[in-house]
């Protein structure tokens, strides 16, 4: 009975999915990986690996080719200031590349 309002919303709006299988399937590789990534040689290694895996997963979600992204970011990182680090996230990196491509065309 405590789910009645949710059931009514589902029944009144036919476009609402009854389950969230699409979301579950989308996040499954990351969720499984989190368990596997717990076992590294040291805590620092686990944290570094988590950062790399997070970047790679973000690349995948935004349609960014990971090798190209990492190669470019690692080459630019030594000359990047703290204020510019936000530009190196996969989404912002992709937007900047698209803008550069439009300007070059």
* pLDDT at res. 38: 67
Q: Taking a C-beta distance cutoff of 8 angstroms, is the pair 50, 36 a contact? A: no
**Residue of 36, 32, 35, 6 whose CA lies nearest to 18:** 6
| More confidently predicted of 58 and 16 | 58
Q: Evaluate if residue 94 carries a pLDDT over 80.
A: yes
Residue 23 half-sphere exposure, CB side, CA atoms within 13 Å?
4
Residue-wise pLDDT for 25-83, tens only, equals 877 877 777 777 666 677 788 788 878 888 888 998 899 999 999 999 999 999 999 99
- Give CA 4 to chain center in angstroms: 34
Between CA 95 and CA 89 the distance in angstroms is 10
* pLDDT at res. 51: 85
| More confidently predicted of 40 and 15 | 15
* pLDDT at res. 96: 92
Two structure tokens written together for 103: 């300007």
* pLDDT at res. 17: 75
Two structure tokens written together for 43: 């805590």
| More confidently predicted of 70 and 21 | 70
Between CA 92 and CA 60 the distance in angstroms is 14
């Amino acid at each position: 009975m405590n789910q009645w309002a949710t059931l009514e919303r589902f029944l009144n709006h036919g476009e609402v999915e009854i389950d969230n299988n699409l979301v579950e399937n989308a996040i499954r590789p990351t969720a499984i990986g989190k368990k596997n990534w717990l076992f590294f040689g040291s805590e620092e290694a686990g944290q570094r690996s988590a950062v790399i895996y997070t970047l790679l997963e973000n690349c995948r979600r935004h349609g960014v080719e990971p090798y190209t992204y990492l190669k470019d970011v690692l080459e630019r990182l030594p000359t990047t200031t703290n204020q510019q680090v936000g530009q190196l996230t996969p989404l912002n990196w992709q937007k900047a590349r698209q803008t550069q491509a439009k300007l070059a065309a």
